[in-house]
Amino acid sequence: MAEPNDKQRVYIFDTTLRDGEQSPGCSMTVPEKLRMAEKLVELGVDIMEAGFPIASEGDFEAVRTISREMPDVRVAALARATRVDVERAAEALKPCRRPRIHTFIATSDIHLTYKLKKSRQQVLDDAVAAVRLARQYADDVEFSAEDATRTDPDYLEEISLAVVDAGATTVNLPDTVGFSVPHEHAQLIGRIARILGDRAIVSVHCHDDLGLATANSLAAVMAGARQIECTINGIGERAGNCALEEVVVAMKVRHDQLPCYTEIVTEHLFPASQLLSSIITFGPQPNKALVGANAFAHEAGIHQDGYLKNKSTYEIIDPMSVGVPEGRLVLGKHSGRHALKSKCTHLGHELTKDELDAVYSGFIAIADRKKGVTDQEILALITAMKAGEDTIKRDAAIAGD
Ligand code: KIV
Ligand code: ZN
């Protein structure tokens, strides 16, 4: 990895195709991963983790294919801190001109005692050996201390220094179980960032078990982390990973408070989210920040009125800047005449006050019966009103059937 020459630049390490893909309902075939990888390139991610080659033939093939088809992309492959894993990752990355081997081992006492049954010294030795071996295949080697946030900070410091001495260029400190809270996370990341200085990039990888993945990642950046590991729509193990779109746009919109930046082309965020949703078995929840169906929808009458007078009253992000075609007014029973008039104009009908009154009464009749009035229903009301039918309410009933 090139040395960071700008202290405010944050690298985006996308793990949609690895951590994201390994969660229920998210598995992808090799061609699907390739399609998603093309979109991630357009989006401008800095590093793309394409899979865990030792885990399956499919993962090996995915890393291999993406490396072959996109040789200039910085592709990462995951490997436990063992010879067989590292060599398998290196093999899969062979066609890549900018390979990154990402090796990891757990460092918390909980994992050492119950999972690995190894001493701290043994884990440190395994980590150093894996990094040394990985460096024989790639100049760019990332080490992850799994469960870093539940690891004794003194030991985390010791192992971080040891892997950098062994050649690691990035040290990732995952909040594997989503346990950390922002101020505590900032303290831990800040401590490791200070001791490593310019010798390696400090990275974070936050899971969302307490709904704090974005907050923790941003707190870490403020403390000195310069790589964020994240996924489109926040998919990933259990409650998921930090959502790429959230951290990127937060740094952009609140640059006054978060004076860092990424090279993500934000106009591709919504299309990337949509593509992922069409490949896996679910999309983001409707109220998901930035990419959910309602993320830019205003329904309450007071909100719609303010929004129509000046968008800045209720909109902090221009939807177009994240690739959403336009902010949407969802008309429902809380919408006022002003919003309805604007919708009619949008649909190509400038209404007089009397015409609007007539359409409005039919609109309220529909909105009282069901949630949300569609554009088709509004058009039907306008047509009926213009055709001079008996009463707008009767036509509304017909349009609603
Ligand atoms: O959550 C985690 O700790 C991981 C590592 C393998 C980076 O996904
Ligand atoms: Zn993870």
Could you report the per-residue pLDDT of 254-272, keeping only the tens digit for each? 999 999 999 999 999 999 9
Fold of 11-279: TIM Barrel (3.20.20)
21 lines ligand 1 (CB under 6 A): no
240 lines ligand 1 (CB under 6 A): no
8: CA distance to ligand 1 center in Å?
25
> 79: number of CA atoms within 13 Å, CB side?
32
Q: Are 274 and 49 in contact (CB under 8 A)?
A: no
Can you give the pLDDT at residue 326? 66
The residue extents of the domains of the chain are 11-279, 298-395
Name the token pair of 27: 């598995």
Q: Are 175 and 187 in contact (CB under 8 A)?
A: no
- Mean pLDDT across 264-293: 94
Q: Are 183 and 142 in contact (CB under 8 A)?
A: no
* pLDDT at position 142 over 50: yes
315: CA distance to ligand 1 center in Å?
35
Can you give the pLDDT at residue 369? 86
Contacts 24+ apart (CB under 8 A), 257-261: 258/218, 258/221, 258/222, 259/8, 260/8, 260/9, 260/10, 260/221, 261/8, 261/9, 261/10
176 lines ligand 1 (CB under 6 A): yes
Length of the chain: 401
pTM: 0.86
* pLDDT at position 380 over 50: yes
104 lines ligand 1 (CB under 6 A): yes
Q: Which residue has its alpha carbon closest to ligand 1 atom 1?
A: 176
- Mean pLDDT across 187-214: 98
Least confident of 56-60, 147-151, 298-302, 309-313: 298-302
Q: What gap in Å lies between CA 126 and CA 129, rounded to an integer? A: 5
Residue 182's H or E segment, with its range, is: helix 182-196
From the alpha carbon of 148, which atom of ligand 1 is closest? Answer: 3
* Closest ligand, as measured to the CA of 203: 1
For 82-132, the pLDDT digits (tens) are 999 999 999 999 999 999 999 999 999 999 999 999 999 999 999 999 999
- Residue 295, number of CB atoms within 10 A of its CB: 21
401 three-state secondary structure: coil
175 lines ligand 1 (CB under 6 A): no
DSSP secondary structure of 339-397: HHHHHHHHTT-PPPHHHHHHHHHHHHHHHHHSS---HHHHHHHHHHHHTT-S-HHHHHH
Please, which pLDDT band fits residue 2 given cuts at 50, 70 and 90? very low
144: CA distance to ligand 2 center in Å?
10
15 lines ligand 1 (CB under 6 A): no
* pLDDT at position 392 over 80: no
- Residue among 250, 107, 82 at smallest CA distance from 192: 107
Can you give the pLDDT at residue 385? 87
Q: What gap in Å lies between CA 376 and CA 347, rounded to an integer? A: 10
* pLDDT at position 394 over 90: no
Chain centre to alpha carbon of residue 61: 24
19 lines ligand 1 (CB under 6 A): yes
89 three-state secondary structure: helix
Q: Are 224 and 193 in contact (CB under 8 A)?
A: yes
Q: Which residue among 105, 144, 179, 206 has the greatest number of ligand 1 atoms within 8 angstroms of its CB, and so is best to mutate?
A: 144
18 lines ligand 1 (CB under 6 A): no
Q: What gap in Å lies between CA 393 and CA 242, rounded to an integer? A: 49
Q: What gap in Å lies between CA 394 and CA 20, rounded to an integer? A: 51
Q: What gap in Å lies between CA 220 and CA 185, rounded to an integer? A: 6
Taking all residues of the chain, what is their mean pLDDT, rounded to a whole number? Answer: 92
From the alpha carbon of 146, which atom of ligand 1 is closest? Answer: 3
